[in-house]
Amino acid sequence: MLRRDFIQISTLSAAGLLTLSAKGNIAPAPRQVAVVDPERVVTGYRTSAQVSEAMAGATTMLQESGIAYEVVGTEADFSPYKVLILPDSVLFSHAFKEKIETYLQQKGAVLASWRSGLTPDGLQFATPAFGIERIGDARYSPDFIDSHESTLGQHLASSELTMYLRGMEVLAKDEATILARTLAPLPSADSYPAATEYGKVIYFMHPIFTQYHRSAPRWCRQLVQNALAQLVPGIAESSTLPIHTAIRS
């Protein structure tokens, strides 16, 4: 390989625009998963963003899971992606709410967590597309996710998963499915939804990506893998290693 070809391929690969197949052939990187970073600002050819703990946790999870992804801003075109990840604190302006609703109507899927989906004041969910209502901060912290008999419980050694950071209590509306419930530290305490599904939206009530960035509990990564597989079957199997991240506006 000529040096100039190596430099060109390496540059494109680092930008997430190419991946190498097992045979060494150059192929377009899969465009199935986008992680939405509301802090990303693109000016000309320079990109600036303050990487949050949630963003760092989400991208680390995907890299370790072998799932190809791209990091995009809120102004990006979402139509190429099968699923959007909204990690922990992606608040919804009116324009972004409408954009997400249109994306879901066009058969897209969303995986959101904690405060993602709330209005800018943080008081309520901006869209009915999540199928949940905000009650307030979770009553207990730490608490536990009960994955017993849950579709999110595959490949987990325990059915009681410790969540160290305080979540947000939500009420699942009539047509929403509660995928898993919390277990409180007190045996007699009431439980509340830990994960819900409504249409093509799966929501975790804990800041699961921030928690992964801080302490990397394996069960957080597995829960996200299981949720993505439920939204887009076969998503992990269709990814190609090594994983590269493209940054798009």
Q: Write the pLDDT tens digit of every residue in 201-233.
A: 999 999 999 999 999 999 999 999 999 999 999
Name the residue among 58, 54, 93 with its Cα closest to residue 75.
Answer: 93
Q: How many CA atoms lie within 13 A of 85 on its CB side?
A: 28
Same-domain pairing of 123 and 2 = no
Measured CA distances, 105 to 102, 109, 110 (Å): 5, 9, 12
What is the number of alpha carbons within 13 Å of residue 174 lying toward its C-beta? 0
In the predicted model, what is the mean pLDDT of residues 6-30? Answer: 42
Q: CB of 140 within 8 A of CB of 190? A: no
- Tell me, yes or no, whether 243 and 212 share the same domain: yes
Q: Is beta strand 46-48 parallel, antiparallel or unpaired with respect to 41-43?
A: antiparallel
Q: If you average pLDDT over every residue of the chain, what do you get?
A: 84
Domain of 21, in residue numbers: 1-27
Both 6 and 82 in one domain: the answer is no
> Collapsing DSSP states into helix, strand and coil, what is residue 215?
helix
Residue 15 and residue 55 in one domain: no
The first and second tokens of residue 223, run together, are 């829960």
Specify the CATH number for the domain of residue 240: 3.40.50.880
Q: What percent of the chain has pLDDT over 90?
A: 67
How far from 145 is each of 24, 183, 191, CA to CA, in Å? Answer: 42, 6, 10
| Pair (78, 147) in one structural domain | yes
- 6 and 119 both lie in a single domain: no
Instruction: Please count the other Cβ atoms lying within 10 Å of the Cβ belonging to residue 166.
Output: 17
Give the model confidence (pLDDT) of 133-175 as tens digits: 999 999 999 999 998 889 899 999 888 999 999 999 999 998 9
Q: What is the C-alpha to C-alpha distance for residues 64 and 43, in angstroms, rounded to an integer? A: 30
**Residue 67 three-state SS:** coil
State the Cα–Cα distance between residues 185 and 204, nearest whole angstrom: 19
Query: What SS3 string covers 216-230?
Result: CCHHHHHHHHHHHHH
- For residues 110 and 211, membership in a common domain is answered with yes
Residues 8 and 70 in one domain: no
Rounded to two decimals, the pTM is 0.82
User: CA 177, CA 175: separation in Å to the nearest integer?
Assistant: 7
For residue range 49-61, list pLDDT tens digits in order: 578 999 999 999 9
Instruction: Note whether 36 and 87 are same-domain residues.
Output: yes
Q: Are residues 125 and 43 in the same domain?
A: yes
Residue 78 token pair: 């979402």
Instruction: Give the total number of structural domains in the chain.
Output: 2
Do 64 and 130 belong to one domain? yes
| The dihedral sign for the CA sequence 144, 84, 71, 87 | negative
pLDDT at position 131 over 80:
yes
Do 107 and 221 share a domain, yes or no? yes
